[in-house]
């Protein structure tokens, strides 16, 4: 008899882990690549139109960022949660959200245009704000399409939508700028990019088997309207928390401190891309598992705790040792003064990952109002600490306020989950392997940092990865999933793999 091939189906957990790895990789590439493309346009605007032109560009996109926050009404997380739990409700959830989103997009665009006209700006600034307000119209629709893709765990569709927008905005905007159409041409390109991306995303949604239409289900519309304020305020408080520091610095110290803090903050934004992408990739599975109880969340929590700690700790250690060379390399000698703020901010990556994961747990378990309360409390704590620390310590004080309030936020989150939702929190017991690997990597960085800071910075990730392999952190299944099994063999550490 001919031997039959092994056709045993993969374990659902392995399939889920594979999707998380793929989706995290897509989001990482997207969130690193998009800002780089956007910087090209910013540089073109600054060189062509000078400080005034860049100021108008920045102001207009600040208005757009604010309206992009409020226009989707916070429904993105709700669509993903309900769609991941039960795919049958995704069609009606999206359809009725599109109805609300169309109305909120019109109102938000009108709000942005009105603010541009009544706040006393010059005519040129009013004109660019008015033009860019048209980009708000498709904003909630794109947010809901993205939420649908996340529920379906199709992050490649998210990437296609957002890349289409940024390529048109940067490519067409740069071309119109060079052709002499000024900032108005850049704004029109941004609007065109949004509209094209929205249309393309709608086609991808339909390809996934979900019709794009407006829904008028009175019961579901009432549910969405009832839930929207909580989710919207979570978005508002989160935006307030991450954006208030620079404003308070400008009022309490001055623009120089804002510059130092901004330099450090941009590096933090890159560092938190990993926990952001990883937790968003986990969220659909968390929403589905939370409906089944704590036991179903167990492996997700253990995986999240291990990998978030392993990813955040080396970043904090290496930046602590290389803060001044990094700032000098990127911004110049004058930014040495930002080193303290950068070190403190980088250590906030550790609690940030736990906060991000547990925030999704709370929403997945229908405890979003607790998440809102914690967001509000963290924002108030941050503001109070800023008032106390910024006058004395400037940018370093703002960074300390961020770090302290994040640790408070993480602690309260964990205590609530332990007491009210036992078994839902990720086990926050530090793994010895990342501690050892980070310590050894730190020794390497310290040894070669003078005068080879660039070498230390470049080699540190490889040193950490090899050391982590050598400590037996990964299981054999994880190595295969991450395509690191060959590296383990090449490094001679296969015998240490579990």
The C-alpha atoms of residue 391 and residue 252 are separated, in whole angstroms, by 6
Show which of 430, 448, 483 is a domain's final residue: 430
The C-alpha atoms of residue 134 and residue 473 are separated, in whole angstroms, by 50
Q: How many CA atoms lie within 13 A of 338 on its CB side?
A: 28
Q: What is the pLDDT of residue 13?
A: 61
Q: Are residues 62 and 166 in the same domain?
A: yes
Q: Are residues 211 and 357 in the same domain?
A: no
The C-alpha atoms of residue 79 and residue 87 are separated, in whole angstroms, by 11
Q: Are residues 436 and 425 in the same domain?
A: no
Per the domain annotation, does 1 fall within a domain?
no
The C-alpha atoms of residue 226 and residue 205 are separated, in whole angstroms, by 26
pLDDT digits (tens, 9 = 90+) for 262-295: 888 888 988 999 999 999 999 999 999 988 888 8
Q: What is the pLDDT of residue 3?
A: 42
H-state helical runs in 421-452: 432-448
Q: What is the pLDDT of residue 490?
A: 56
* pTM as predicted: 0.85
Q: Are residues 38 and 154 in the same domain?
A: yes
Q: What is the pLDDT of residue 2?
A: 39
C-beta of residue 278 within 8 angstroms of C-beta of residue 307: yes
Q: What is the pLDDT of residue 4?
A: 41
Q: What is the pLDDT of residue 9?
A: 44
Per the domain annotation, does 39 fall within a domain?
yes
Phi-psi domain of 210 (left: phi exceeds 0; alpha: psi -120 through 50; beta: other): beta
Location of structure tokens 């929205």: 198
Q: Are residues 313 and 378 in the same domain?
A: yes
> How many domains does the chain divide into?
3
Q: What is the pLDDT of residue 265?
A: 87
Q: Are residues 150 and 242 in the same domain?
A: no
The C-alpha atoms of residue 479 and residue 360 are separated, in whole angstroms, by 26
Per the domain annotation, does 321 fall within a domain?
yes
User: 254-259: long-range contacts at Cβ-Cβ below 8 A with a sequence spacing of 24 or more?
Assistant: 257/390, 257/394, 257/395, 257/398, 258/395
Per the domain annotation, does 489 fall within a domain?
yes
Q: Are residues 262 and 400 in the same domain?
A: yes
The domain containing residue 445 runs over which residues? 432-496
Per the domain annotation, does 8 fall within a domain?
no
Q: What is the pLDDT of residue 62?
A: 81
Show which of 196, 216, 236 is a domain's final residue: 216
Q: Are residues 61 and 189 in the same domain?
A: yes
Look up residue 136 and give its DSSP letter.
Answer: G
Q: Are residues 100 and 162 in the same domain?
A: yes
Q: Are residues 244 and 347 in the same domain?
A: yes
Q: Are residues 419 and 449 in the same domain?
A: no
Q: How many CA atoms lie within 13 A of 200 on its CB side?
A: 16
Per the domain annotation, does 3 fall within a domain?
no
**Considering just the CA atoms, what is the radius of gyration of the chain in Å?**
24
Q: What is the pLDDT of residue 489?
A: 59
Show which of 430, 464, 483 is a domain's final residue: 430
Low-confidence stretches of the chain (pLDDT beneath 50): 1-10, 495-496
Q: What is the pLDDT of residue 126?
A: 92
Look up residue 272 and give its DSSP letter.
Answer: T
Per the domain annotation, does 12 fall within a domain?
no
CA distances from 159 to 162, 293, 420 (A): 5, 32, 37
The C-alpha atoms of residue 200 and residue 135 are separated, in whole angstroms, by 15
Q: What is the pLDDT of residue 487?
A: 54
Q: Are residues 253 and 284 in the same domain?
A: yes
Per the domain annotation, does 153 fall within a domain?
yes
């Amino acid at each position: 008899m001919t031997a039959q091939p092994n056709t045993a189906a993969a374990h659902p957990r392995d399939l889920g882990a594979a999707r998380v790895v793929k989706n995290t990789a897509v989001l990482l590439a997207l969130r690193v690549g998009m800002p780089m493309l956007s910087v090209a346009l910013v540089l073109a605007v600054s060189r062509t139109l000078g400080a005034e032109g860049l100021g108008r560009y920045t102001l207009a996109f600040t208005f757009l960022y604010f309206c992009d926050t409020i226009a989707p009404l916070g429904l993105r997380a709700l669509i993903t949660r309900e769609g991941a739990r039960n795919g049958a409700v995704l069609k009606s959830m999206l359809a009725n959200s599109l109805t609300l989103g169309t109305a909120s997009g019109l109102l938000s665009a009108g709000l942005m245009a009105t603010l541009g006209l009544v706040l006393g700006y010059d005519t040129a600034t009013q004109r660019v704000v008015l033009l860019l307000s048209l980009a708000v119209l498709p904003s909630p629709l794109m947010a809901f399409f993205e939420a649908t893709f996340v529920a379906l765990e199709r992050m490649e569709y998210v990437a296609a939508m957002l890349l289409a927008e940024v390529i048109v905005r940067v490519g067409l905007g740069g071309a119109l700028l060079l052709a002499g159409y000024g900032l108005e041409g850049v704004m029109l390109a941004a609007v065109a990019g949004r509209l094209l991306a929205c249309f393309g995303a709608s086609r991808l949604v339909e390809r996934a088997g979900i019709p794009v239409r407006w829904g008028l289900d009175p019961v579901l519309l009432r549910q969405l309207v009832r839930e929207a304020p909580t989710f919207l305020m979570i978005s508002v408080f989160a935006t307030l928390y991450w954006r208030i520091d620079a404003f308070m610095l400008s009022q309490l110290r001055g623009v120089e401190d804002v510059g130092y803090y901004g330099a450090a903050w941009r590096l933090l934004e890159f560092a938190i891309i990993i926990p952001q992408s990883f937790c968003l990739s986990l969220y659909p599975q968390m929403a589905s598992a939370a409906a089944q109880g704590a036991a179903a969340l167990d492996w997700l929590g253990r995986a999240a705790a291990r990998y978030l700690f392993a990813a955040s700790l080396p970043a904090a250690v290496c930046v602590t040792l290389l803060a001044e060379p990094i700032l000098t390399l990127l911004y110049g000698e004058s930014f040495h003064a930002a080193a303290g703020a950068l070190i403190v901010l980088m250590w906030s990556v550790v609690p940030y990952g736990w906060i991000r994961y547990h925030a999704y747990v709370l929403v997945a378990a229908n405890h979003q109002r607790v998440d809102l309360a914690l967001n509000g409390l963290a924002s108030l704590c941050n503001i109070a600490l800023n008032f106390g620390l910024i006058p004395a310590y400037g940018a370093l004080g703002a960074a300390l306020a961020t770090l302290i309030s994040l640790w408070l936020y993480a602690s309260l989150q964990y205590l609530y989950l332990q007491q009210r939702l036992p078994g839902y929190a990720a086990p926050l017991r530090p793994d010895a392997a990342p501690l050892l690997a980070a310590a050894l990597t730190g020794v390497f960085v310290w040894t070669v940092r003078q005068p080879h800071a660039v070498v230390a910075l470049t080699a540190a990730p490889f040193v950490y990865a090899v050391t982590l392999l050598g400590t037996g952190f990964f299981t054999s299944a994880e190595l295969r999933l991450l395509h690191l099994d060959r590296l383990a063999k090449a490094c001679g550490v296969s015998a240490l793999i579990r």
